Amino acid sequence: MQVFGLLGNPVEHSLSPPMHEAAYAELGLDARYVTFEPSPDDLAAAVHGADALGVAGLNVTIPFKQDVLSLVEPDDLAARVGAVNTVDFAGDAPTGHNTDAAGVRRSFSHHDVALADRDAVVVGAGGAGRAAAFALADAGASVSVANRTVETAAALAADVGDAASAHGLDALPDLVPDADVLVNATSVGMEADESPVPATALHADLAVLDAVYAPLETRLLRDAADAGATTIDGAWMLLFQGVEAFELWTGLDAPVAAMNAALRERL
Ligand code: NAP
């Protein structure tokens, strides 16, 4: 039996176990997906211990995504994003990957939204914002990063390079009307029925991905739908980061429909 898992703290409400176990059931794989909740002081021991015990792969979530970077060999994307959310133990040394970026890219491609040569706006510059900005820039988009703390947006834009620029949230009324693609990578919309983007800036030629998945239907997505925009909820990003991890670990095409159904059943 192969063992996969999630390393984080806390992990009890994670949707990754049912999503991955649905994939194993669909394909008849002899595998389990379990959660591990080490204390931060034990992170290195946990990763080395998982490797020694023959764990095949780990997802990594808050608060360990940055700290795991130094415990594995990160691929180019994970190193640039500065965070690892997937560890693969198949080789001589554990490798680290960032499938949140693939989650953004594949959410758009699943909805037939092209990214090459498009103007994208990423609102937020934390973990999700970094993954989104690199995903969009690597796919050929020009990326405007708008963040409450403009210094964090500037640091992200500098890391991304020539394809990115940095702004405060006050630039959104000017940026969004000319954009093709918008990602909300802030937590705004989770706690209260609020949107980080003025509704008047949204338009019918825009595709909007909201990384927030609780609730699924955020104020931003409602406003975007009212404006005639294409809307993509945060469960798609969550799904496709898991799909990408599954495919990386197993080398198989993921059963996307079964994983999506398991996820949405619980949201
Ligand atoms: P994070 O690293 O803590 O970053 C939070 C971001 O939100 C920062 O840019 C922060 O701006 C901004 N922000 C927080 N409160 C704000 C407010 N009141 N007004 C304006 N901006 C505010 O968090 P994260 O890991 O990137 O997660 C961000 C969101 O994405 C969360 O809702 C999370 O659940 C979601 N997420 C979804 C997926 C998925 O698969 N769907 C994956 C990862 C994350 P400052 O820099 O100014 O503080």
Residue 130 CA: which ligand 1 atom is closest?
26
Q: Could you read off the pLDDT of 193-212 as tens digits, one per residue? A: 999 999 999 999 999 999 99
**Angle made by CA atoms 48, 49, 52, in degrees to the nearest 5:** 90
**Angle made by CA atoms 77, 53, 71, in degrees to the nearest 5:** 30
Domains of the chain: 2-98+237-266 (3.40.50.10860), 101-232 (3.40.50.720)
Is any atom of ligand 1 closer than 6 Å to the C-beta of 147?
A: yes
In which order are the strands placed within the sheet that holds 57-60? 31-36, 2-7, 57-60, 86-88, 95-97, 73-74
pLDDT score of 40: 95
Residue 84 structure tokens: 């690892």
pLDDT score of 65: 96
Prior bond of 10 cis (ω within 30°):
yes
Say how many residues make up the chain.
267
Q: Could you read off the pLDDT of 151-187 as tens digits, one per residue? A: 999 999 999 999 999 999 999 999 999 999 999 999 9
pLDDT score of 128: 96
In which order are the strands placed within the sheet that holds 207-210? 164-167, 142-146, 119-123, 181-184, 207-210, 230-232
pLDDT score of 204: 98
Is any atom of ligand 1 closer than 6 Å to the C-beta of 146?
A: no
Q: Of the listed 20, 65, 80, 97, which one is catalytic?
A: 65
Q: pLDDT confidence of 45, banded at 50, 70, 90?
A: very high
Mean pLDDT of 245-254: 98
Using alpha carbons, select from 258, 216, 260, 248 the residue that is nearest to residue 101: 248
Q: At 238, is the secondary structure helix, strand, or coil?
A: helix
Mean pLDDT of 131-148: 98
Calculate Rg over the CA atoms of the chain.
18
Q: Rounded to an integer, what distance in angstroms lies between the CA atom of residue 58 and that of residue 73?
A: 14
Residue 2 structure tokens: 């192969």
H-state helical runs in 211-255: 219-226, 234-250
Element (H, E) at 139: none
Residue 187 Cα to ligand 1 midpoint, Å, equals: 4
**Angle made by CA atoms 219, 223, 228, in degrees to the nearest 5:** 145
Q: Is the dihedral of CA 130, 131, 134, 136 positive or negative?
A: negative
Is any atom of ligand 1 closer than 6 Å to the C-beta of 57?
A: no
Q: pLDDT confidence of 266, banded at 50, 70, 90?
A: very high
Number of Cβ within a 10 Å radius of residue 29: 16
Mean pLDDT of 115-119: 98
pLDDT score of 216: 96
pLDDT score of 238: 98
Mean pLDDT of 221-240: 98
Residue 190 CA: which ligand 1 atom is closest?
32
- The residues, ordered by sequence, that sit 6+ positions from 113 with a Cβ below 8 Å of its Cβ are 181, 207, 230, 232
For β-strands 86-88 and 95-97, DSSP reports them as antiparallel
- Average pLDDT, rounded, for the chain: 97
State the residue for tokens 């001589």: 92
For residue 266, how far is the Cα from the chain centroid?
Answer: 19
Element (H, E) at 12: none
Mean pLDDT of 235-243: 98
Q: Is 155 in the active site?
A: no
Mean pLDDT of 61-87: 97
pLDDT score of 241: 98
Percentage of the chain lying above the pLDDT 70 cut: 100
